[in-house]
Amino acid sequence: MAKIVIALGGNALGNDAYEQMEKAAVAAGAVVDLIEAGHEVLIGHGNGPQVGMIKKAFDECEKTGQTPGMPFAECTAMSQGYIGYHLQSALEAELNKRGITDNPVVSLITRVVVHTADPAFEKPTKPVGGYCDETTARKIMQETGHVYGEDAGRGWRRMVASPMPVDIMEKLTVMCLLENKRVVIACGGGGIPVAEKDGAFTGVDAVVDKDFAAARMAQLIDADILFILTAVERVCINYRKPDEKSLPGMTVAEAKKLSGEGHFAPGSMLPKVQAACMFVESGKNRRAIITSLEKAAQALSGESGTVIE
């Protein structure tokens, strides 16, 4: 039996609440395959589309003067709640369907500690919220001090930092739940980013990458395997080129070499490979697997996926 942390992409959960419920059921099937095989499982998830919708809704309502705005950390907490609710419901339904009744599911609001001295705060690059034109963006920047930038030719958006996770505040609770045969959903959306100030931890306007958060959680709870589930079955070099080649396995050294050569796209495969390396290097006999949701069970037995060890 292995202790497994799964990082599930937010884009894999659809673009609205109704689509998300359907896709959560698909994800549950793959996760329960691992539980049925006797493994301890913790599920982390992304929230890119979801938290953006929440933030945009509050921003638009604030313009009417009838509803106050909402800080980004609170928007992340909201996304943890409703994504966790859908995943929890889907997992319970799948477990019950298979007659597995001794693995209750819990979704945990999770805070992730970051350092305000992280260089990411000096140059925010993560787009959040709705779009506006350049004139409006510059006016908002002047009034609020927020950073805005042009996003892929589609308009201007607010940019926030994406710092590295330092600690998981609920790690002891997670360990206790796993020891008592709970299936845990935690670190949703990379966790709610908090930083210490005057002896207390408060939310900061930032986004923690969900793969790095999952890798940190896996390290802290002494997991055996980090699963990073994405849209492709295996990591590839020369992706979408005539000489594309899929990789069944890499050492950490090989992964770092290929990353340095520019084979993995920033904001896409690169952070997944980096998170995998971070976890594998953190202890003995740890391995990371990058694969598609549908191939998770096969990847565990070496029939699919890219293994980094």
The rounded distance, in Å, linking the Cα atoms of 229 and 172 is 25
Catalytic residue among 10, 189, 190, 191: 10
Joined together, the tokens standing for residue 151 give 């996003």
Catalytic residue among 23, 55, 210, 295: 210
In the sheet that holds 249-250, the strands lie side by side as 105-107, 183-185, 40-45, 3-8, 225-230, 287-292, 306-308, 249-250
Q: Tell me the residue length of the chain.
A: 309
97 is known as an active-site residue: no
256 is known as an active-site residue: no
Residue 27: alpha-carbon gap to chain centroid? 14
Please say whether the beta carbons of 111 and 169 come within 8 A.
yes
First to last CA, the chain: 18
Scanning the chain, the segments in alpha helix (DSSP H) are 17-36, 48-63, 72-97, 134-144, 171-179, 210-220, 252-260, 269-280, 296-300
284 is known as an active-site residue: no
149 is known as an active-site residue: no
272 is known as an active-site residue: yes
Catalytic residue among 84, 272, 295, 305: 272
Catalytic residue among 14, 23, 55, 126: 126
The rounded distance, in Å, linking the Cα atoms of 38 and 251 is 27
Catalytic residue among 11, 29, 103, 130: 11
Catalytic sites, residue numbers: 10-11, 126, 210, 272
